[in-house]
Structure 1
Amino acid sequence: MEVLRPALININGRVYRKNPVKEEHHDGEEDEDISYSGPADLQGAEEPCDVHPIEQTEKGFRCAVDVPSVLYKYIIGKKGETRKRLESETKTSISIPKQGVEGEIVITGAQRATVASAVTRIEVLIESVRRKQPFTHFLSFPLNHPQIQDGFLRFKEEVLEKCSQERGIDASIFQNAAKLHLTVGTLALLNAAEVALASELLQQCQGFIRDITGGKPLPLTLAGVEYMNDDPSMVDILYAKVEVKDGSDKLQAIADRLVEHFVASGLMIREWDRVKLHGTIMNTLFRKDPSAEDKGGSGKPNSKDREAFDARNVLQEFSEYHFGEFEMNCVQLSQRYSTEPSGYYTSACQVTFS
Structure 2
Amino acid sequence: MDVLNANKYVVNGRVYRRNVPLEAAQGGGLRTTAIERFDLPDVDDDYDSDQDFEKTNVDNVGDEIVEQSTTNTKVTATPAAPAADHYGIVYNERKRAFMTEISFPEELLGRLIGTKGTTKKNIEDSTGAKIDIPKRGYAGPVGIASPSRESVERCYDRIEMIIFDGRKRLPFTHFVMFPALEPQVVNAHVKLIDSIRGSADVDEACKDPSIFMPPTKLHLTIIPLWLFGEKEIKATASILDEAVFNFGVENSGGVDVKLKGLSHFGDEDLDSVRVVYAKVVDSPKAQDLADQIASKLVTAGYGQEPRGGKVKLHLTVLNTKYLDTDDKEKQVIDATGLFKQFGHVEYGNFKVNQVHLCTMGATDANTGGYPVIHTSSI
TM-score, length-normalised on structure 2? 0.67
The structural deviation recorded for 1:164 is: 4.6
Query: CA–CA distance in 1 between the matches of 2:294 and 2:102?
Result: 24
Query: CA–CA distance in 2 between the matches of 1:146 and 1:180?
Result: 11
Q: Does 1:328 align with 2:352?
A: yes
The structural deviation recorded for 1:145 is: 1.8
Larger RCO: 1 or 2 (CA < 8 Å, sep 6+): 1
Q: Does 1:175 align with 2:206?
A: no
Query: CA–CA distance in 2 between the matches of 1:188 and 1:51?
Result: 19
The structural deviation recorded for 1:334 is: 1.4
Inter-CA distance 162–271: structure 2 relative to 1 (3 Å threshold): same
Q: What aligned pairs does 1:169-248 form with structure 2 within 5 A after superposition? A: 169-213=207-251, 215-231=252-268, 232-243=270-281, 247-248=282-283
Q: What aligned pairs does 1:290-301 form with structure 2 within 5 A after superposition? A: none
Q: Give the letter aligned to residue 225 of structure 1.
A: L
Q: Does 1:311 align with 2:335?
A: yes
Contact in 1 for aligned 2:100/2:152 (Cα 8 Å): no
Query: CA–CA distance in 1 between the matches of 2:150 and 2:368?
Result: 53
Structure 1, gaps ≥5 residues long: 1-5, 32-49, 290-301
Q: How well do the aligned residues superpose, as a CA RMSD in angstroms? A: 4.0
SS of corresponding position for 1:230: coil
Contact in 2 for aligned 1:137/1:333 (Cα 8 Å): yes
Inter-CA distance 142–57: structure 2 relative to 1 (3 Å threshold): same
Identity %: 26
Query: CA–CA distance in 1 between the matches of 2:371 and 2:18?
Result: 29
Inter-CA distance 347–147: structure 2 relative to 1 (3 Å threshold): same
Structure 2, gaps ≥5 residues long: 1-11, 20-35, 49-84
Query: CA–CA distance in 1 between the matches of 2:222 and 2:333?
Result: 25
The structural deviation recorded for 1:179 is: 0.4
The structural deviation recorded for 1:126 is: 2.0
Q: Give the letter aligned to residue 358 of structure 2.
A: S
Q: Give the letter aligned to residue 277 of structure 1.
A: L
Q: Deviations over 1:169-195 (max 9, x none)?
A: 522211111101110011122212222
Inter-CA distance 306–12: structure 2 relative to 1 (3 Å threshold): farther
Q: Which segment drifts farther, 174-183 or 198-207?
A: 198-207
| Alignment: residue pair count | 310
The structural deviation recorded for 1:113 is: 8.8
Q: Does 1:76 align with 2:113?
A: yes
Q: Deviations over 1:321-348 (max 9, x none)?
A: 1223332221111122132533222211
The structural deviation recorded for 1:240 is: 0.4
**Structure with the greater alpha carbon radius of gyration:** 2
Q: Give the letter aligned to residue 29 of structure 1.
A: D
TM-score, length-normalised on structure 1? 0.71
Residue 345 of structure 1 corresponds to 370
Residue 150 of structure 1 corresponds to 187
Q: Give the letter aligned to residue 228 of structure 2.
A: L
The structural deviation recorded for 1:143 is: 1.1
Residue 136 of structure 1 corresponds to 173
